[in-house]
Amino acid sequence: MLMGSNGDALIRLEEVYKIYGPQPRGRAFDLAKAGLSKDEVQRRSDHVVGLNNLNFSVDGGEIFVIMGLSGSGKSTALRSVNKLLVTSYGKVWVDGVDVQTLQGRELQAFRREKMGMVFQHFALFPHRSVADNVAYGLKVQGVPRDERQRAAMEALELVGLGAYASNLPEECSGGMQQRVGLARALASDPDILLMDEAFSALDPLIRSQMQDEMLEIQSNLKKTILFITHDLNEALKIGDRVCIMKDGSIDQIGTAKQILTEPATAYVADFVQDVDQGRVIEVNEAMHEPTPIGREMSLSEALAAIGDRAGEFIVDDNGSPIGLLTLPDGLRVKSMGNDNLAAALRQDFEKTRPDASLSDVYVAAGRGMPIAVVDDGGQLIGTLDPRMIMEKLGEVERLMDDFERQVYL
Amino acid sequence: MSSLQETSTQLAQGAVEASETVSFWDNLFLDEWRIPFGDWMEQAVFWVVNKMSPVLDVVAWPFEFLIDLIVGKFLASIPWFWVVLLMMALAAIIRNIRVASFVGVALFICGILGGDYWMETARTIGFIFVAVLMCVIIGIPVGIACGRVDGVWMAVRPILDGMQVIHSFVYMLPFIFFWGIGEVSATMVTMVFAVPPLIRLTNLGIRQVPEDVQEAARAYGASERRVLLDVQIPLARPAIMTGVNQTLLLSISMLGIAAIMGAGGLGKLLFNAISNQDISKGASAGLAFLLVALVLDRTSQREGSDSAHLFRRIRRAWAHRRNPEALLETTGENAGSELEEAEYASVESAERLPLMLTFAGAVIAIQSVVLPWSTNAGKLSSYGRSSDVSLDGSLAGRSFNGMDASGGSWFGVSVLILGLVVALSAVVSYFRPGRGPRFLAADGAMIASVSVTALAAAHILARPIGDRLLDGAPDPGTGIGVILALVGGVIASLGAVRWMWLSRRAPFRPLTKKISWSRLLAVVIGLLMLFAGMFGVWNSDERRETIVDDEIQAQIDELQQEAEEPGANLAAISAKLISLRSQLYEEVTGIGTSDGVSAKGHRLGLWALISGCLALLASLPAVGLFGREDRWLWRWNAATAGFGAGAAMIALSWILTTLRSADTGYVSGVGAFLAFVGGAVIVSSTVPVLKEFKRERVYDDEILDSPAEAGPSASAVSN
């Protein structure tokens, strides 16, 4: 795992445990530390393990997503980072400070300066106007009224709600309320954003819209974001790295692609099997080197060059694809007794880029013809055979099936 | 006798014998081994009273201080009018003008019940204030502590349960032992009874604050004090306010027990009235009691909370003393339903003419009030005011305006009020059609102007009671003012009829297309009440005069002269005076009771009945017998309501006019009251239809095409 390897991690959790029950540091803790599972600890000590040896680190400027089902401890993990929750054991380093040791005024000052938090059900103050909600963090910091109103307006403009400053939260729709929540987190310009299922309460269309907006804002502001979700699709979409939790411990940490294509445990595999792996596999992994056919070739020569591949491209002097010869086309023209290559070429072929995901080319691949993979200069760098897409996805599928066999047999 | 002594000695001997060999199974055993628990307690109480009196004083001090400040130094010592104004201002600030005007009227009625009743009313208000204030001072902080700290709630909860399970008669005793009978211990007992729901609701309100909102405050670095002030208290406010209201309702329901404990107030009057079987005192005190309760409750009620009547609310407060949580769910749902400002149909030129006619009629009616309504003496009131207005002809030639006690009296005042309603309807409809209270429109104007007509006509037609006028005194004549009031009323009524014809008002939804027999029945019942009222007592004259003959007068004069001499034996003189006074006798000079139809009354009952008959006639089309088109029903219902209101107003004005007479022996009778209720029943039968009608709304697309349709008139209005 990645823990400790990175010296400049902004947030780092080391061996964090949280035990619920009357004696959180007693027998239950010993059992958990000895490596027993949550169920086992509960059976033997009647204590509930919330977090079980949690280790991860989040780099500055990264979106780190913790994904898990309810009861997996993901919210507990998030709340340990600003000590809304006191852990039973372990260190929670944020910017070189062990948060769990902070008390009283120190803790309040730390929360004010370092963090903003966004909640699943928005958690806006219903009796304050939108602007006052957004300015609350600054108010607590003791910023003068004019200044904090200005900062609040800036944050509201950022999320596109400048016109609603004087409304009450209840007059806004769910999506707008969550934007207010986001603006509130951004207003005091903290380094770290903690987002607790921030978009889970919104309907799917708004949710995806908010995800896009957040990514756009993030591309400008470069905050460190710790994001909690139970939606794997969301996690894969926005997370630079994704951490999958189950029963208070971590199953896997990795990029979206690692999660999808190299699931570490059966649990993760079970999880990701309904997800379209094509989203994380890039075109350049499935394409093969182009073996362009010369323009001067005859149809028979060209067909011979193609072999059993679905088709090949013809490039101009710059290396850009200008025509496509597919195996069926060639055979059909040849059966009519014509051996002219030009007669069998088609120009209505699809192009794509090497870093596109497989899911982007599904529609194009549906036509059954090879797709030209071109670089920024328009030069042909590869040919993507539709059959290769299926094959690539099939490899992952087989991996999943193996895991499934482990789970069910 | 001797045999009795024998048996008692035998018994005593038996007891002595038994004391030696008392069996466990014998009841005497119980006496033998008596635990002196009562004595212990008594000793403990005496010890506390004797040795701990400074502590008791300290505990009692805030109660004494507040009672003295609010009741003694303030409510009971400033003029009554200021108290009324103050309460109105309070209601206007906390609630709105409507509640404030209700408070004003209610307290005014408490006041004119009599000075005694007013003092007790003021004391009652003050007592409730102090009790609720102490509950708030103690209950809210305790509730907040309970809400924030589980340990405190664990400790407080059984105490609250105990306070609510034990009957107040039980815990009354220690308070009386420690602080004696009086307002202080009464306030304390009231507090013990009334504070638990406030603590429970405050606790609940704090606990109900969503966890994530509190977390949000903490996550942004708020200290616990800020979390409390910024989040918990504001979000718990509705629950806390419900708690304060509950406390108030329970305090009101404790007034009786407080009265037993010597707190004074209206409860004491009621208590006395019950023990003396004094019906008149009991009724008046009861009315004042009810009004005070209503005033306090309505003032403290939450905006938009349920408007069930007081008794149901008190019953509910009692029922939910242990679980006030249930009260929160039923309240505060329907607030802010109509946020956006509606666009209503504007007044078109055709509608404006009758509107102005109505307004002119109203102005004439209002103007008439300051003109002479009767000459020589009040037509309706002079008879009642014989003791303070000379009727020997010295007022001959003088005239009285519509509001003078000897002029139109309350008939004039009623005409004035109704005229203002008509004028206001016209003004509001002209400038802000569709806005303001719903009745300030064509139908409201119609009802009020018909009532004005009925009132003025009744006043003109009423027969003066001449019997008591001394010979030679001229008969009261009808002044120009009342005739003008009639003219104004008729003009306004005609204008209002036409106005209703043209007014753009429509029901929210299609009315039922059935003949409403039940409403017709209501009108008939109202009419029967008017009929019965007519034969009932309208005025009861039981006035007496003290007859002093010359002989006694001479003796009195003599005694007074004696008293003025120096060194007079005042005690002896006053004893003589008292014995003289006992020789005086009173003579009943009143004419007894008279009904509403005979000439001995004013025949007002007859005129009210005629107004009611007209209402019945108007109600035939109004219930849908001849055509059931919406606006047709609306017009006839307004007419029905107008005549019904006319009957009711005649009776009400008469009751108020006799109230105004200074003589306690001369009062209005139950017939007038019955007539008032009958008129009100007729009016209420029309309400279901009338309240369906509102100014037509104009929607955006209509605004767009209206200029093309209505041409210059529409644009003129929009200017």
Report the alpha-carbon distance of residue B569 to residue B586 in Å, rounded. Answer: 29
Looking at A250, A279, A308, the residue that finishes a domain is A279
Clarify whether residues A227 and A127 are in a common domain: yes
Which segments of B462-602 does DSSP mark as H helices, in order? 480-502, 517-535, 550-564, 570-583
DSSP-assigned letters across all residues of A95-151? TTEEGGG--HHHHHHHHHHHEEEE-TT----TTS-HHHHHTHHHHHHT--HHHHHHH
Report the alpha-carbon distance of residue B561 to residue B20 in Å, rounded. Answer: 83
Clarify whether residues B46 and B95 are in a common domain: no
Helices B279-300 + B310-319 axis angle, to 10 = 70
Identify whether B1 is part of a domain.
no
| Shortest Cα distance, chain A CAs vs residue B220, angstroms | 5
Residue A305: what pLDDT?
A: 82
End-to-end CA gap in chain A? 28
Chain B residues in contact with A115 by the CB 8 A cut-off are 219
Q: Six-digit token pair at B606?
A: 């007859």
| B-chain residue closest to A170, CA distance | B336
Residues B57 and B104: beta-carbon distance below 8 Å = no
CB–CB contact B216 A108 (8 Å): no
pLDDT tens figures, B575-614: 887 787 777 777 776 777 888 887 777 888 999 999 999 9
Report the alpha-carbon distance of residue A64 to residue A71 in Å, rounded. Answer: 19
The amino acid that residue B100 corresponds to is A
DSSP-assigned letters across all residues of B592-661? EEEESSSTTTTSHHHHHHHHHHHHHHHHHHHTTSS---HHHHHHHHHHHHHHHHHHHHHHHHHHHHHHHS
| B-chain residue closest to A171, CA distance | B339
Q: Six-digit token pair at B308?
A: 């069930």
Q: What is the CATH number of the domain that holds A112?
A: 3.40.50.300
Residue B531: what pLDDT?
A: 92
Long-range CB contact pairs, B325-333, < 8 A, 24+: B325/B200, B325/B201, B325/B204, B327/B201, B327/B242, B327/B246, B328/B201, B328/B204, B328/B238, B328/B239, B328/B242, B330/B306, B331/B238, B331/B242, B331/B302, B331/B304, B331/B305, B331/B306, B332/B238, B332/B302, B332/B304, B332/B305
DSSP-assigned letters across all residues of B155-177? HHHHHHHHHHHS-HHHHHHHHHH
Residue predicted with more confidence, B492 or A344: B492
Nearest to B402 by CA among B342, B456, B441: B456
Report the alpha-carbon distance of residue B404 to residue B390 in Å, rounded. Answer: 15
CB–CB contact B221 A110 (8 Å): yes
Clarify whether residues B244 and B381 are in a common domain: no
Residue B382: what pLDDT?
A: 66
Domain hosting residue B528, numbered range: 349-542+591-710
Nearest to A293 by CA among A278, A275, A279, A305: A305
B24, burial (CB in 10 Å: exposed 0-12, middle 13-18, buried 19+): exposed
pLDDT tens figures, A267-294: 888 888 777 777 778 888 888 888 778 7
Identify whether A54 is part of a domain.
no
Report the alpha-carbon distance of residue B265 to residue B259 in Å, rounded. Answer: 7
Q: Six-digit token pair at B11?
A: 């018994």
Clarify whether residues B74 and B145 are in a common domain: yes
Chain B residues in contact with A120 by the CB 8 A cut-off are 212
3-state helix/strand/coil string of B447-479 = HHHHHHHHHHHHHHHCCCCCCCCCCCCCCCEEC
CB–CB contact A108 B223 (8 Å): yes
Backbone angles phi, psi at A118, to 5 degrees: -120, 135
Q: Six-digit token pair at A213?
A: 């907006």
User: How wide is the angle at C-alpha A173 spanned by C-alphas A172 and A176, nearest 5°?
Assistant: 75
Identify whether A238 is part of a domain.
yes
Identify whether A25 is part of a domain.
no
Identify whether B582 is part of a domain.
no
| Shortest Cα distance, chain A CAs vs residue B179, angstroms | 44
Identify whether B581 is part of a domain.
no
Report the alpha-carbon distance of residue A255 to residue B509 in Å, rounded. Answer: 62
Residues 6+ apart with CB under 8 A from A146: none
Residues A24 and A48: beta-carbon distance below 8 Å = no
Identify whether A10 is part of a domain.
no
Indicate the range of A190-194, A214-218, B74-78 predicted with least confidence. Answer: B74-78
Residue B595: what pLDDT?
A: 83
CB–CB contact B222 A140 (8 Å): yes
Clarify whether residues A221 and A345 are in a common domain: no
Identify whether A112 is part of a domain.
yes
B618, burial (CB in 10 Å: exposed 0-12, middle 13-18, buried 19+): buried
Clarify whether residues A243 and A309 are in a common domain: no
Clarify whether residues A248 and A298 are in a common domain: no
Report the alpha-carbon distance of residue B451 to residue B449 in Å, rounded. Answer: 5
Residues A282 and A355: beta-carbon distance below 8 Å = yes
Strand order in the sheet with A89-94: A48-59, A9-20, A89-94, A97-98
* A80: alpha, beta or left? (left if phi > 0; alpha if psi -120 to 50): alpha
Clarify whether residues A304 and A239 are in a common domain: no
Residue predicted with more confidence, A196 or B170: A196
Looking at A251, A279, A307, the residue that finishes a domain is A279
Residue B699: what pLDDT?
A: 66
CB–CB contact A126 B219 (8 Å): no
Chain A residues in contact with B222 by the CB 8 A cut-off are 108, 140
Residue B581: what pLDDT?
A: 74
Please state the pTM of the whole predicted model: 0.59
| B-chain residue closest to A137, CA distance | B220
Clarify whether residues A137 and A259 are in a common domain: yes
Which 8-state DSSP code applies to residue B346? P
Bridge partners of B668?
A: B539
| Chain A residues with at least one Cβ partner in B under 8 Å | 79, 82, 84, 105, 108-113, 115-117, 119-121, 123-127, 136-137, 140-141, 184, 188, 194
Domain hosting residue A339, numbered range: 283-391
Chain B residues in contact with A85 by the CB 8 A cut-off are none
Clarify whether residues A68 and A135 are in a common domain: yes
Clarify whether residues A203 and A269 are in a common domain: yes
DSSP-assigned letters across all residues of B278-329? -HHHHHHHHHHHHHHHHHHHHHHSPTTS----HHHHHHHHHHTSS-THHHHH
Clarify whether residues B416 and B293 are in a common domain: no
pLDDT tens figures, A74-88: 888 999 998 888 888
Residues B437 and B96: beta-carbon distance below 8 Å = no
Clarify whether residues A274 and A306 are in a common domain: no
Residues 6+ apart with CB under 8 A from B243: B139, B143, B197, B198, B199, B200, B201, B202, B205, B324
Q: What is the CATH number of the domain that holds B223?
A: 1.10.3720.10
Q: Six-digit token pair at B348?
A: 């078109």
CB–CB contact B220 A112 (8 Å): yes
Clarify whether residues B419 and B377 are in a common domain: yes
pLDDT tens figures, B542-559: 777 777 777 788 888 888
Clarify whether residues A259 and A289 are in a common domain: no
pLDDT tens figures, B45-97: 888 888 888 888 888 888 888 888 888 888 777 888 888 898 899 888 888 88
Q: Taking 60 as the threshold, does the pLDDT of residue B5 lie above it? A: no
Report the alpha-carbon distance of residue A68 to residue A227 in Å, rounded. Answer: 11
**Disruptive mutation site among A80, A117, A138, A180 for chain B (greatest number of B CBs within 10 Å):** A117
Residues B240 and B209: beta-carbon distance below 8 Å = no
| Shortest Cα distance, chain A CAs vs residue B219, angstroms | 6
Looking at A221, A250, A279, the residue that finishes a domain is A279
Q: Taking 80 as the threshold, does the pLDDT of residue A122 lie above it? A: yes
Residue B13: what pLDDT?
A: 55
CB–CB contact A111 B220 (8 Å): yes
Other beta carbons within 10 angstroms of residue B496's beta carbon come to: 33
Residue A10: what pLDDT?
A: 86
Identify whether A126 is part of a domain.
yes
Q: Taking 90 as the threshold, does the pLDDT of residue B143 lie above it? A: yes
| Shortest Cα distance, chain A CAs vs residue B217, angstroms | 8
Identify whether B341 is part of a domain.
no
Clarify whether residues B82 and B193 are in a common domain: yes
The amino acid that residue B489 corresponds to is G
Q: What is the CATH number of the domain that holds A329?
A: 3.10.580.10
CB–CB contact B220 A119 (8 Å): no
Clarify whether residues B294 and B413 are in a common domain: no
Of B210, B220, B235, the CB nearest to A140: B220
CB–CB contact B234 A136 (8 Å): no
Clarify whether residues B425 and B485 are in a common domain: yes
| Averaged confidence pLDDT in chain B | 80
Of B213, B222, B234, the CB nearest to A123: B213
Report the alpha-carbon distance of residue B511 to residue A67 in Å, rounded. Answer: 59
Clarify whether residues A72 and A218 are in a common domain: yes
Clarify whether residues B196 and B60 are in a common domain: yes
Clarify whether residues B179 and B279 are in a common domain: yes
Max CA-CA distance within chain A?
Answer: 90
Chain A residues in contact with B217 by the CB 8 A cut-off are 125, 136, 140
Other beta carbons within 10 angstroms of residue A59's beta carbon come to: 16
| Shortest Cα distance, chain A CAs vs residue B430, angstroms | 33
Residue predicted with more confidence, B69 or B13: B69
Backbone angles phi, psi at B539, to 5 degrees: -140, 140
How many A-B residue pairs are in contact by the CB < 8 A criterion?
Answer: 64
Looking at B295, B328, B361, the residue that finishes a domain is B328
Identify whether B533 is part of a domain.
yes
Clarify whether residues B406 and B429 are in a common domain: yes
Identify whether B715 is part of a domain.
no
Identify whether A402 is part of a domain.
no
End-to-end CA gap in chain B? 109
H helix or E strand, kind and range, residue A225:
strand A224-229
Total structural domains within chain B: 3
Clarify whether residues B387 and B293 are in a common domain: no
Identify whether A119 is part of a domain.
yes
The amino acid that residue B295 corresponds to is V
CB–CB contact A136 B231 (8 Å): no
pLDDT tens figures, B207-266: 988 888 888 888 888 888 888 998 899 998 888 888 888 888 888 888 878 888 877 788
> What per-residue string of b and e applies to A1-19 under the rule 16 or more CB within 10 Å gives b?
eebeeeeebbbbbbebbbb
Clarify whether residues A208 and A312 are in a common domain: no
Total structural domains within chain A: 2
Identify whether B580 is part of a domain.
no
CB–CB contact B220 A188 (8 Å): yes
CB–CB contact A120 B217 (8 Å): no
Based on C-alpha coordinates, what's the Rg of chain B? 34
Residue predicted with more confidence, B705 or A322: A322
CB–CB contact A140 B226 (8 Å): yes
Residue B395: what pLDDT?
A: 61
Backbone angles phi, psi at A75, to 5 degrees: -70, -35
CB–CB contact A126 B235 (8 Å): yes
